[in-house]
Amino acid sequence: MTTITLAHLSKRFTQSDDAAKSINVLDNLSLKIASGDVLAILGPSGSGKSTLLRLVAGLIPPDAGEILFDNVDLQQIPVTERGIGMVFQDGALMPHWEARKTVGFFMSLRKREHEVPARVARIAQITGIGINHLLDRRPAHLSGGERQRVGIARALTRDPRVFLFDEPFSNLDAKLRASGRVELKRLLSEFPVTSIYVTHDQIEAVALAHRIAVMRDGHFEQVDTYQDLYNNPVNLFVATFIGTPTINLFTGTVHNHRWTGTTFGGFPLRADLDENTPVTLGVRPERFTIHNGGAAIRIASVMPYYAERFALCEVRSTAGEAFQVSVPLEILPQAGDTLHVVPNVDALLYFDPATGRRIG
């Protein structure tokens, strides 16, 4: 089993021939992934996720910093001994090979081809899905989901030290994405290979990974469990990026050592903030309580989530602020209704509006 360490990793790309126009696509990334753990890299498109994965795969060199597998610099490990299983967005299968050859390729290189059928059978057993019927087909005759299964089987049959996934399910429809996620989760718990899973989908990240690195513009904003990212975001970017429906933000200021806004106010906050300091308050939609003494809100629209037993309501306060509140379905909220709500005091998140940093 392998520990992965990224130490002060940076990568620049030159946009044209002019070196001055080069941009830092990755900027001083440091991180350690324990042996057998799955780390998700979660970030918007263009944040540098694929570039980071290509560096860890050894496909491109860093400009600064190191990648260590078990404390050995990747550059010092011969390519044949790196043991990297990579799964790409589009499967990246050889177009003219039958799946059988793709799946067995690395084993045949090592004269261990005879082990492939048992491996494939084991994968089929764990996922509950046979791929034998796919093995005689070429990629053109496989659906998107089938191609990804073959890609994952290929990566697994080569006995990887490290597994790298680059949005493997993003080209699939929602249902296939969900089942692919479940199959992969089973495989990863059965073959605990140290893995990096790149995605822009937080449902995938929380389902598959032990920890999540939130990436933006080539750097990590926060590396934590989903629960900590959700409850304790370090800044406004993480707070708004993590969580669907999105967190509500209210502008306000400090008055008598209390947060005071337009709709709500009088909430305790850090004692060292000066009077009139601007502070943004974040409250997630499900962290409101219906309460007679609360602020009056009028429901503009209702979006029911039947499985989760709540309705997401777009509301407007008497003071004119628009936000979202999750209301239990039993209350039968209707557009036009008026409710009274208060945010839960233990769920208030305060941010400095100038820097975005969390301040309480």
The residue ranges that bind ligand ADP (CB under 6 A) are 13, 25, 43, 45-51
Residue 94 one-letter amino acid = M
90 Cβ partners below 8 Å, 6+ apart? 147, 171
Q: For residues 239 and 7, what is the distance between their CA atoms, to the nearest angstrom?
A: 26
Q: Which amino acid is at 12?
A: R
Binding partner at 233 among Mg ion, ligand ADP, none, C-beta below 5 to 8 Å by kind: none
Nearer to ligand ADP, 44 or 278 (CB): 44
Interaction partner, residue 341 (Mg ion, ligand ADP, none; CB < 5-8 Å by kind):
none
Distance in Å, CB of 49 to Mg ion, minimum: 5
Contact 237, 221 (CB under 8 A): yes
Tokens for 335, please give them.
């557009």
Which residue, 189, 4, 191, is CA-closest to 82? 4
Q: Which CB sits closer to ligand ADP, 41 or 193? A: 41
From the list ligand ADP, Mg ion, none, partner contacted by residue 25 (C-beta under 5 to 8 A by kind): ligand ADP
- Find which of Mg ion, ligand ADP, none residue 97 binds, CB within 5 to 8 Å per kind: none
Report how far apart the first and last C-alpha atoms of the chain are (Å, whole number). 40
Q: Which residues contact 172 (CB under 8 A, 6 or more apart)?
A: 144, 145, 148, 180
In whole angstroms, the minimum distance from the beta carbon of 311 to ligand ADP comes to 34
By a kind-dependent CB cut-off of 5 to 8 A, residue 46 interacts, out of Mg ion, ligand ADP, none, with: ligand ADP
For residue 48, give Cα distances in angstroms to 54, 66, 237.
10, 17, 16
**Whole-number minimum distance, CB 104 to ligand ADP, in Å?**
30
Nearer to ligand ADP, 13 or 237 (CB): 13
Question: How many whole angstroms separate alpha carbon 121 and alpha carbon 131?
Answer: 8
Considering the complex, state which of residue 36 and residue 58 has its C-beta at the smaller distance from Mg ion. 58
Give the one entry of ligand ADP, Mg ion, none that residue 48 binds, where binding means its C-beta sits below a cut-off of 5 to 8 angstroms depending on kind. ligand ADP
How many Cα atoms occupy the beta-carbon half-sphere of 200 within 13 Å?
12
Q: Of 199 and 317, which has the nearer Cβ to ligand ADP?
A: 199
Q: Which residue, 50 or 246, is less far from Mg ion as judged by CB?
A: 50
* Closest distance of CB 219 from ligand ADP, Å: 12
The distance of closest approach from Cβ of residue 339 to ligand ADP in the complex, given in angstroms and rounded to an integer, is 40
Q: Where are the alpha helices (DSSP H) in the chain?
A: 49-56, 99-109, 116-127, 144-157, 174-190, 202-208, 226-231, 236-241
Residue with tokens 């994405």: 177
Smallest distance from ligand ADP to CB 157, Å: 26
Q: Which does 13 bind (CB under 5 to 8 A by kind): ligand ADP, Mg ion, none?
A: ligand ADP
Taking the least distance from each CB to ligand ADP, the nearer of 23 and 109 is 23
Count of CA atoms in the C-beta half-sphere (13 A) of 70: 11
**Residue closer to ligand ADP (CB basis): 25 or 313:** 25
From residue 218, alpha-carbon distances to 26, 52, 121, 224 in Å are 4, 9, 40, 17
What's the closest the beta carbon of residue 223 comes to ligand ADP, in angstroms? 16
Cα-Cα-Cα-Cα dihedral sign, residues 43, 322, 346, 208: negative
Closest CB to Mg ion among residues 50, 232: 50
Binding site for Mg ion (CB under 5 A): 50
Rounded to the nearest whole angstrom, what is the least distance from the CB of residue 166 to ligand ADP in the complex? 7
Query: Residue 281 and residue 259: Cα distance in Å, rounded?
Result: 8
Shortest reach from residue 7's CB to ligand ADP, in Å = 19
